[in-house]
Structure 1
Amino acid sequence: MPDPAPLRSLRFRLLGPLIAVALIAAIIVALASYRLGDRWATDDLQERFQGIKNTLADSTFPLNATVLDSLAELTQTDLVTTGETGRVKYSTMEGLEKSIEPGELKIGDKRYLVYFFDTKRGKARSDDVARVAVVFDEKTLSASRRRAAILPLATGLSTILALSSITLFMQSRLVGRIAKLQRRVRGIAEGEFTSTATQYAPDELGQLGAAVDDMAGQLDQLWKRVNRQQSEKLLHQIAGGMAHQLRNSLTGARMAVELHAAQCDSHDTESLPIAIHQIELSEDYVRRLLLVASGRQDQDRPTDVTVCWNDVRSSLTPIARHWHVDIQWHVDEAIDSPSHTDATAHIKDGPTWVAAVTNLVHNAMQAGEVVEVYLERPNATTVRVRVRDNGPGIDETVADELFEPFVTSKPEGMGLGLSVVRRAAEHLNGNVRWHRTEGWTVFEFTASLIRADNSKPTT
């Protein structure tokens, strides 16, 4: 999205009216001060004129050129005396004509204000001065007006500058935060739901940013849930197709192995029973897959923990021997001891637990040369399986979504095994997690225990 035009930007919309109002206010104050300064200057001029009038109107000394020059220098004005006919007798101004009238006077490019007063003695005076004109330079009056206006105008402009600078700084920070929030919202619109840890200011905009992050988190969960549902739907379809093809093949394989076991006189008492048992497990998995594909759920089959454990160990030990993997099985005494009072604790659904643990151990045997499997009883209600291998570990590209369907780093893999393990953990009221420590990749699979008599969780 392109940046808004300068006149439409938030900075201009916030700062423009503020500066305009402050500037108008400063101009109004300056004009008012100018008017007030003009009034003060006029009053001052009138006071000066009245003082000169009071001094000279009733004077008895002659108002000759010497006296007028002294008085003009003292009062910062020009003085002009006239006779009864109005002709100029004496003047401190140069270029003045023979007569002078009250009001405005212009000499060259200069302007003056002229005020008259009559002498009280008139013809009785020795200097024959009937009237005295007091001439004020208009520049003095204009300077007084400007001085009165400049101070408030300068104060207003400096206030505007300071206020604008502070406001611009605050707006820049505000606009920066809004731009950051805009990029965050735009990223959410493009599907980037993952949020980063951000410290928001405790204000309205900070609350909005936190709300946007909360929304992103909820959308992320919803998106993952939708993808998971779509993946599960596809998984059901794949499971149905594969199961129909495998069921006939497994039935034929089992019949062939059983026939060979009946006809062959062999001293091998381990391989054939294990093979038959593996085929039976595969047939059971196929049956459960067909149920899943048809939208139904198989009934739970509570099974003793020891039975499930022995089932996993007996089926995977020959495979480990064939792959030359050093596999070590460790059982907690709380489970392995026949005299323990909780030894009869059962798992909610034995086949589900066996399938999940088998998957974890099988993956470990493919990854490392040494595999350690621990069956533990951390408390009375939980059984935990820890699977460790010394392989290279999980690829960083899939580490965050390891338990999602169709996520795998194996070229030949489909990414379904660990997603099945997570589903199994959820079904058994447990959880599954992994971590990397001291060169070992460790998976921990926990499940809740129930009692064999009433199928309720143990206490």
Structure 2
Amino acid sequence: MADIQEINLLNHLNAALLVVNRTLGVEFANQASEQLFGLSQRRLGELTLTECISHLGVKPAQLKENLADSQAAAFYAMSLATLEGQHHTVDLFLTPLSPGRGLLEIRVIDQQQRISQELHQYAQHHAAQLLVRGLAHEIKNPLGGLRGAAQLLERQLEEARLKEFTGIIIEQADRLRSLVDKLLGPQKPGQREPGNIHRILEQVARLCGLEFSEQLTFVRDYDPSIPDFDMDRDLLQQAVLNIVRNAAQALEGRGTITLKTRACSQITIAGKRHRMAVAVSVIDDGPGIDEKLKDTLFYPMVTGRQEGSGLGLSIAQNAVAQHQGRIDLDSWPGHTAFTLVLPLIPNKEEK
């Protein structure tokens, strides 16, 4: 009787609970585990933990070692992907029960993690913009003087060989000014007019298809119910293009990029509630993003590639922010998804 009462109690808990053995075979699973993994309790009992999921941020060998040593463990903000392709951020707690057996508690913290990520991204973007604007002011002034002096000197020179050197000075000064302008990005959105997000995605896919090899495959997963909405089409196209190009470079021109759109409702962005929004996801099956880069990925000049400029994601974030949106990131080996969340109807005070 006591066992039945205990099982009923475990089934009423919100956290997913699994009793696992030394091989990570599931001996018991509560009802919350069914909802998390999308599998019945009976089916879970026939599988190991690694067979229930497609990805887990904790190595199975680590859990097995803890079980063998009867050692409790806690793992925070780990990524977990189910067999159905659902991704969650979870906290995992392992409690030994007997030699070689333990209770694994999995708490989904998606909402808390998303809020924390958004606040961090907003602070990161704001700090980067202040830093870049300050540097731009300090760089542009002497750069203008340097260019002007080179032009005056060029007028005084008669030898073509010497004029070649002043031409190099002017050319490099223009290049640096262009780089600073790219760092700053457009400070105000251009002309807003109704546009179709799927048309932008098709244009980007066509451009990247021409730029990279034929071994790069694009998969479309569009929601046809998404209406046209007011946008700066050039700005949004540049944002999507930068993200898709990054994905193609990560795949080295060989792999699959999925372009996915979904309508969503009651979305909060930067503390403001939006009744309707569109989520545009760029998903690749590449190696994933290095954990060391995730916290600074949207800073200017941060890149995981030696030949990269580190400006693409910073420019994309600036463009999306000007549409009152945000960019979400989920990444693990074999899956990286950048999702642009854009309000369909901007807040009145921002119009």
| TM-score clears 0.5 | no
TM-score w.r.t. length of structure 1: 0.34
TM-score w.r.t. length of structure 2: 0.43
Normalized per residue, the structure richer in strand is 2
Normalized per residue, the structure richer in helix is 1
